[in-house]
A and B are shown apart, each in its own frame.
Chain A
Amino acid sequence: MAKETSQLQVALELGMNEQEYNNVLGILGREPSGTELAMYSVEWSEHCGYPRSRTLLKLFPKTGKYPTRAEGEDAGGIEIDTNCYVIFKMESHNHPSQVEPRQGAATGIGGILRDIFTMGARPVALLDSLRFGALDNEKTKALLHGVVDGIQFYGNCVGVPTVGGEIYFHPSYRDNCLVNVMAVGIADSRYMATSKAKGPGNPVMVVGNRTGRDGIGGCSILASHEFSEDDQKRPTVQVGDPFIEKCLIEACMELLQGDAIVGIKDMGAAGITCTTAEMAESGGVGMDIDLMHVPMREAGMEPWEIMMSESQERMLVVAKQGREEEVIALFTKWNLNAAVVGHVTEEKILRIRFHGDIVAELPTESLAAGPVYYLPAEEPEWLATLNSTDLTGLPLPSDYNKVLLNLLSTPNIASKRWAYQQYDHMVQTNTVVPPGAGDAAVIRIKGSERGLGMTSDCNSRYCYLDPYIGAQIAVAEAARNLVCVGADPAAVTDCLNFGKPEKADRFWQLKRGVEGIADACRAFQVPVVSGNVSLYNEGPDAAIFPTPTIGMIGVLEKVEQYATMAFKSAGQQIALFGVTKAELGGSEYLAIEHNMEAGMPPMLNLQAELSVQNCVLAAIKRGLVSSAHDCSEGGIAVTIAESALAGNLGADVKLDTVGRADMDLFAESQSRIVISCSADKVEELQQLAVEFGAPFCVIGTTGGDRLAITVAGNKLIDLPMTEVITAHSEPIFTAMAN
C-alpha cells in the first residue's frame, strides 16, 4: 500500500464516494485494507451492483407465455420442450471495444458465452448488435474492422455460429461505439447448474486459464511503489483466447453431466472477487480462500491484483468434498488448470489469505448489500421543440427512384454481408434461416421438432425522439421480426446502453426506456429473463442516442414451418398486413433526404400490432405464405425492394395514398408486414385477416426484372432489379475495401 495516501483517498480513487467509504467503516468497524476497498468498490459499482438501475429493473415482467427462469443466475431462460430450456443473455462490451476493438469485441463474446455455459447450457448461437459513428471516416472504419475481426476471431474458433445481429451508424456513437453481444444456449433441465456455494468444507476451485494482470488498470492506485511508475505491468484490456474457451466449454459440459460439483460461476468483471462474493452470498455461506493456490501466469502479483484480475476463460467451482481429484483430472484432460484455492465455511465471512496473513475478511452479505441510489429524472428541455417540428411543409422529392436507391445504399439499410460472411454462421449444422435471409435467424434443435427464432433490435433514433415509444417499438419490432420467420415471440433479454445517469435528462431516458420495454413485454406476454446495463456512454459533447437493445427469442412449434423474406417465384400475389399512416418523424428518409432527425417517432398501437402479428404467424403455420418481411427503416418501398432482391425477382406494386407520396413509400409506420403468396391463397388469407382483425390488402404481383411501384396512379418507382441489387449489396464492401 502507498502509505502516504489515506484509505479514504484510495476509496475515492477507486470510484467510491465518501458515504460509501463510511458504510465500509461501519460494516467492518475498522479501517479497510486496500484489497477490501478494491472488493467493495467493484461489487458496489454500477457494473456489478447496479445501484442506480436496480430499482428500475424491477419493473420488468419475469413471467410470460412459457415457463420461465429469470432469477438468481447470470442468465435466464424459458422451457420450450420437456426438459429443454433455452438460456440466453445479452451483454455490452462498449468501452473495451472503443479502446481496443478486436480484443474488446472478442472478450465480450467470451464473457457472454461463459454466462450461458456456466448454467449448464451448451451455446448454440451468437448475435451481435453494433453501433458506430458515421461510416464516412477512417476512425469508424478502423473500429468496425476491428470489432468484426474480433467477433470472427473468437466466435469462429469457439465453434458457436454467429447467426444474427445488426449494425447501425450514427454520429452520436463516434467516440463511444456499442458492442452488444447475445448468446443463446440449450440446456437439459436435468443437468442445469447453479452458482450457489453450499456445504461447509466443500472445496472451492479456480479452473481454466491462469491468472495474470489483465484488466486491473482501474485499481492501479493500489500499486505499491516499485510498480506504480511502470503501467506496462498492468495491461488494462483483457486478452481472450477462444481455443482455451472452447476447451473450457467442453470440460464444463462434461463436468456438469456428472455430480462432482455443487455450484459453478464464470469469472467476468473483477474475477475472483465477484465470483467468491456472489457464490457465497447466494448460497448463504462464507469462504476461506488462500490466493497462494491460484494458478498464476506471472510472478509477484499482489493480493488485490489477483482478486481484481479479469484474466479470461476462468470459472470458480465449488466441488463436493473428496471429488476434487475427478475435477482436476477432467480439466487436465483438456490442458486446463484446476486448483483448490479454499473451502466453503458455515460462518458467512469471506476470508482471503495471502502468504499466511489475512488480506481481506468481510461479511459476505455486505458485498451484495451495496447502496441504492434514486436519481432525479428530467425530460430534456430540447425534446418538446424537437417533437413538435412541423414536417408538413417539406418539399416532395423530384426523383423517387433516386430516393429509393439512396435509402437502399445508406449503411444503415445496405446489406451487412461484408460482416456476416466473415462469421461462421453454419457451424453446429443447425442454421435454418441464415443471416440475410429473413428478419430473424432460425436454428433447429437436434432431437426436438421445435425451432428457435432469434433477433436483436433497436432503432435509437426513435428512442432519442421518445425513449418510451422507442423502447416499445424495439420490443414490437423484435417480435414482428420473429413472426416474419414463423416464430412465436417468447422471451426477451435486453442491454440498456445510456449516458451518465447522474445527469437528470440521461436518467429520464433510461427510466422511460425501461418503462417502455416493461409495458410492451407485458402486452406481448414475454418475460425479460436476463440483460445488462451499460451507463456512462458519452462522447465529448453529448451522450449517445439512448439505445435499449432488445434481444428476443421465438419458438417454432415445428421448425419446418419457417418463412424467409425472399419472393419465391414469378406471378405470385404481394399483400400488405397493416396500414401506412401519414407520419415521417424519425424516419431514415427524413434523415437522408432532408437531413432532419425530428418529429415524433411512428405511433405504436400494441393491440393493432398483436392482431397483425398473430394473423401472419397463423398464416405462416398454415402454409399460406411464400415470403414475409416487415416494414422498418426506409418504409414499405425498401421492404418490397428487399424481398425482391433477396429472390432476384422483380415486382409490380400499386399503393393508395395518405396524401403525400413520400409518406406512402417511405413512412416507417409500425405494425406492417409485406407477404407474398400464390393467387389461390388470397381468399383464405382474407378470411384469416378478418378473424384476427388485421388490415389486409393485395398490393401487387411478383415477376419480371424491374421493380415498379405506382402511387395513386403515378408510377413513381421503376428500376431494373440489377440497379436495385447493386445499390443494396455493395456500399459496405466499397467503404471497407482498403
Chain B
Amino acid sequence: MKFGVVVFPGSNCDADCHHAIATVTGMEVRDVWHEDTDISDLDCVILPGGFSYGDYLRCGAVARFSPVMKSVVEHAAMGKYVVGICNGFQVLTEAGLLPGALYRNDHLQFICKPQYLRIERVDLPFTHFYEAKQVVSFPIAHGEGRYFADAETLKKLEDNNQIVFRYCDAAGNVTADENPNGSLNNIAGICNERGNVLGMMPHPERVCDRLLGGTDGKKLFKSLVESLHIQAISMRGLR
C-alpha cells in the first residue's frame, strides 16, 4: 500500500502531507517529482497545497501541464485514488479531473483559520470512517477557494451526491455566514462521479496531531488505507 505526494515547483504542503500520512497510517509514502511519469507503484496520489508555478495566470493552470499529470489522469482512469488538497484541488479542476473552477475569494483576501465542515458522504474511500453528516474542523488557508460551476453542472453534482464537504457552523448548519469564500452551495470539497478522485480546499494534513490542536483529519487517511485493503482483497478475489 503506497502513497505518493506530487512535488511541483512551488508546492509547499508536500512535506506536511508526507509527514501526516506516514505518521497516521504507517504506510509507505514517496515524493513524486512533477517531471516523473512512472507512478505505477502508487495506490493513492496526493496533489498537495501550495503555489505551484507561483499560481501564475490562474491557480494550478501551469502545474496541470507537468509531465506527471498525464500519469495522474491514467491513474485515476484505472480507478485508483487521487486526492487534491487546496492548490491540488485547483490543479484537478484545471486538469478536468473534477468539474467546476476555483477563483478569488469573495472578500478578496487570503484567509487562514480553522473551519467547520459537514461531511456529506461517508460511503467514499476517503470518508467511510466518519459518521454521516459529522461536523469536523479542518483549517483553510487560501486566497482563491471560491468554488464555481454553471447551474447545470452544479445540479448534476448535487443530484449525484458528488459534494463531499460543505462549510458549516459548529452545529452543522450550512449558512451563508459560515461560507468563508463565497463558494456556491458552501462547497468545500467534491469528488468525481466514480468516487475515486477527491478535491478539497481545507487541509486535513494540518489536523492529524493533538499538539497542533486537532485530529479530525486522521480518519480521512485511515479511511483510504482501509479502502485500499478492501480493494486489494477483492482484486485478489478476482484472480
Interface residues of A in 124-173 (CB under 8 A from B): 152, 156-159
B3 to chain A, nearest CB (A): 16
Q: Does B9 contact A (CB under 8 A)?
A: yes
Which residue of the partner chain B has the closest CB to A451?
A: B211
Q: Does A422 contact B (CB under 8 A)?
A: yes
Q: How many A-B residue pairs have CB under 8 A?
A: 80
- The interface residues of chain B lying within 8 Å CB-to-CB of A243 are 9-10, 51, 53-56
Q: How far is the CA of A241 from the CA of B10 in the complex (A)?
A: 11
- The interface residues of chain A lying within 8 Å CB-to-CB of B12 are 157-159, 246, 427
Q: Kindly identify which residue among A158, A421, A431 contacts B212, using a CB–CB cutoff of 8 Å.
A: A431
Q: Are B20 and A421 in contact (CB under 8 A)?
A: no
Apart from A152-B109, A157-B12, A246-B9: 7 A-B pairs, beta carbons within 8 A:
A159-B13, A242-B51, A243-B55, A422-B111, A427-B141, A432-B212, A434-B213
A523 to chain B, nearest CB (A): 33
Q: Kindly identify which residue among A241, A247, A423, A429 contacts B19, using a CB–CB cutoff of 8 Å.
A: A429
Q: A422-B111, A426-B141 are in contact. Are A444 and B211 (CB under 8 A)?
A: yes
Binary per-residue interface labels of chain A (330-353) against chain B in the complex, 1 for a CB within 8 Å, 0 otherwise:
000011000000000000000000
Q: Does B50 contact A (CB under 8 A)?
A: yes
- The interface residues of chain A lying within 8 Å CB-to-CB of B112 are 156, 421-426
- Find the residue from A247, A335, A429 having the highest chain B CB count within 10 A: A429
Of the 9-residue stretches B118-126, B160-168, B202-210, B231-239, which lies at the interface with chain A? B202-210
Q: Are A422 and B141 in contact (CB under 8 A)?
A: no
Q: Does B139 contact A (CB under 8 A)?
A: yes
Q: How far is the CA of A247 from the CA of B26 in the complex (A)?
A: 29
- The interface residues of chain A lying within 8 Å CB-to-CB of B9 are 243, 246-247, 334-335
Q: Kindly identify which residue among B10, B110, B113, B139 contacts A152, using a CB–CB cutoff of 8 Å.
A: B110
Q: Does A190 contact B (CB under 8 A)?
A: no
- The interface residues of chain B lying within 8 Å CB-to-CB of A423 are 110, 112
Q: Kindly identify which residue among A426, A428, A560 contacts B139, using a CB–CB cutoff of 8 Å.
A: A426
Q: Are A422 and B109 in contact (CB under 8 A)?
A: yes
Q: How far is the CA of A450 from the CA of B208 in the complex (A)?
A: 19
Q: Are B10 and A424 in contact (CB under 8 A)?
A: no
- The interface residues of chain B lying within 8 Å CB-to-CB of A246 are 9-10, 12, 51
Q: How far is the CA of A241 from the CA of B15 in the complex (A)?
A: 22
Binary per-residue interface labels of chain B (136-167) against chain A in the complex, 1 for a CB within 8 Å, 0 otherwise:
00010101000000000000000000000000
Which residue of the partner chain A has the closest CB to B109?
A: A422
Q: A421-B113, A427-B12 are in contact. Are A559 and B211 (CB under 8 A)?
A: yes
A148 to chain B, nearest CB (A): 9
A251 to chain B, nearest CB (A): 10
Q: Does B226 contact A (CB under 8 A)?
A: no
Q: Are A427 and B109 in contact (CB under 8 A)?
A: no
Q: Are B111 and A427 in contact (CB under 8 A)?
A: no
Q: Kindly identify which residue among B141, B205, B208 contacts A156, using a CB–CB cutoff of 8 Å.
A: B141
Give the bracket for the number of chain B residues in contact with chain A: 20 to 34
Q: Does A355 contact B (CB under 8 A)?
A: no
Q: Does B16 contact A (CB under 8 A)?
A: yes
Which residue of the partner chain B has the closest CB to A446?
A: B19
- The interface residues of chain B lying within 8 Å CB-to-CB of A334 are 9
Q: Are B111 and A429 in contact (CB under 8 A)?
A: no
B143 to chain A, nearest CB (A): 8
B70 to chain A, nearest CB (A): 20
Q: Are A247 and B10 in contact (CB under 8 A)?
A: yes
The 7 closest A-B pairs by CB, nearest first: A159-B12, A243-B54, A157-B51, A429-B16, A424-B141, A424-B112, A422-B110
Give the bracket for the number of chain A residues in contact with chain B: 20 to 34
B218 to chain A, nearest CB (A): 13
Q: How far is the CA of A425 from the CA of B206 in the complex (A)?
A: 11
Q: How far is the CA of A242 from the CA of B51 in the complex (A)?
A: 9
Looking at chain B's contact residues, is the secondary structure mostly helix, strand, loop, or mixed? mixed
Taking beta carbons and an 8 Å cutoff, which residues of B are in contact with A? 9-10, 12-13, 15-16, 19-20, 49-51, 53-56, 109-113, 139, 141, 143, 203, 205-206, 208-209, 211-213
- Find the residue from A242, A243, A428 having the highest chain B CB count within 10 A: A243
Looking at chain A's contact residues, is the secondary structure mostly helix, strand, loop, or mixed? loop
Q: A246-B12, A424-B141, A426-B139 are in contact. Are A241 and B54 (CB under 8 A)?
A: yes
Q: Are A432 and B211 in contact (CB under 8 A)?
A: yes
Q: How far is the CA of A246 from the CA of B54 in the complex (A)?
A: 9
A593 to chain B, nearest CB (A): 34
Q: Would you list 18 pairs from A and B whose C-beta atoms are within 8 A, ordered by A residue?
A: A156-B112, A157-B10, A159-B50, A242-B51, A243-B51, A243-B56, A244-B54, A247-B9, A422-B109, A424-B110, A424-B141, A427-B16, A429-B19, A429-B20, A429-B208, A432-B211, A434-B213, A560-B211
Q: How far is the CA of A158 from the CA of B13 in the complex (A)?
A: 11
- The interface residues of chain A lying within 8 Å CB-to-CB of B15 are 428
B167 to chain A, nearest CB (A): 15
Q: Are B211 and A426 in contact (CB under 8 A)?
A: no
A329 to chain B, nearest CB (A): 14
A464 to chain B, nearest CB (A): 34
Which residue of the partner chain A has the closest CB to B139?
A: A426
- The interface residues of chain B lying within 8 Å CB-to-CB of A156 are 51, 110, 112, 141, 143
B128 to chain A, nearest CB (A): 25
Q: Are A428 and B51 in contact (CB under 8 A)?
A: no
Which residue of the partner chain B has the closest CB to A243?
A: B54
Q: How far is the CA of A243 from the CA of B52 in the complex (A)?
A: 8
- The interface residues of chain B lying within 8 Å CB-to-CB of A444 are 211
Which residue of the partner chain B has the closest CB to A429?
A: B16
- The interface residues of chain B lying within 8 Å CB-to-CB of A421 are 111-113
Q: How far is the CA of A238 from the CA of B12 in the complex (A)?
A: 24
Which residue of the partner chain B has the closest CB to A250?
A: B9
Q: Are A428 and B10 in contact (CB under 8 A)?
A: no
Q: How far is the CA of A246 from the CA of B19 in the complex (A)?
A: 19
Which residue of the partner chain A has the closest CB to B35?
A: A333
Q: How far is the CA of A560 from the CA of B109 in the complex (A)?
A: 33
- Find the residue from B53, B109, B110 having the highest chain A CB count within 10 A: B110
Q: How far is the CA of A428 from the CA of B12 in the complex (A)?
A: 8
Q: Are B211 and A427 in contact (CB under 8 A)?
A: no
Binary per-residue interface labels of chain A (159-194) against chain B in the complex, 1 for a CB within 8 Å, 0 otherwise:
100000000000000000000000000000000000
- The interface residues of chain A lying within 8 Å CB-to-CB of B54 are 157, 241-244
- The interface residues of chain A lying within 8 Å CB-to-CB of B20 are 429
B180 to chain A, nearest CB (A): 10
Interface residues of A in 349-374 (CB under 8 A from B): none
Q: How far is the CA of A244 from the CA of B213 in the complex (A)?
A: 32
Which residue of the partner chain B has the closest CB to A442?
A: B211
A334 to chain B, nearest CB (A): 6
Q: Are B110 and A427 in contact (CB under 8 A)?
A: no
Which residue of the partner chain A has the closest CB to B210?
A: A560
B116 to chain A, nearest CB (A): 16
Q: How far is the CA of A694 from the CA of B111 in the complex (A)?
A: 42
- The interface residues of chain A lying within 8 Å CB-to-CB of B139 are 426
- The interface residues of chain B lying within 8 Å CB-to-CB of A242 are 51, 54
A567 to chain B, nearest CB (A): 17
B30 to chain A, nearest CB (A): 17
